[in-house]
Structure 1
Amino acid sequence: MRFFIILGYSILCALLLTLFSHINDLLKYIFSLGALFTGIQFFKRHEGRGMRIWFVVSTIVLYFIFSVIYALYVAIKTGQLTPAAA
């Protein structure tokens, strides 16, 4: 059960951070505040050191994965990278 709690919070926080890093509008700061609020809520509800460490590590790893996926999506959509032929 702990795994799914950490994974859920980490996915939400990583998605918000990914949106923050790729949007060039004033709206990006709302995503930053959302990620901060998510982290505060996680730290408030779970006091174990191990769960906090896994939350931070998994959020960072998922952030990089989501950023690569988004960069590939933009590259394919703009025509800089063609999709593989079937």
Structure 2
Amino acid sequence: MLKSTGWMDFLLSPKEWREYHQMSVSASAVYTPKAELHPSFDEQGSLIKPLELRFTGDISGVFPLLEQCQLTTARGPDTRGFSVLTLLPEQ
């Protein structure tokens, strides 16, 4: 859904994730650790463990979208130019 509003998304290798690699300093983008993506979901597509995501750009529109999708998140401290959100599985 973020793509339809002009957001870019990037899957990062473990090395890129560890090094806080940024593909663009000015774009609104979401960064996902590629190695954690599939293990974070079950075969039905339900989130089964926390998944940290990093964002650049104005994230104010992200929160209503997450709420609309009924996703629970925890906001982490901003780190190295990224806003950090962790998707949380249902309890």
Q: Is the structural similarity TM-score above 0.5?
A: no
The structure with higher relative contact order (CA 8 Å, sep 6+) is: 1
Bigger-Rg structure (1/2) = 1
User: TM (normalized to structure 1)?
Assistant: 0.25
TM-score normalised by structure 2 residue count? 0.24
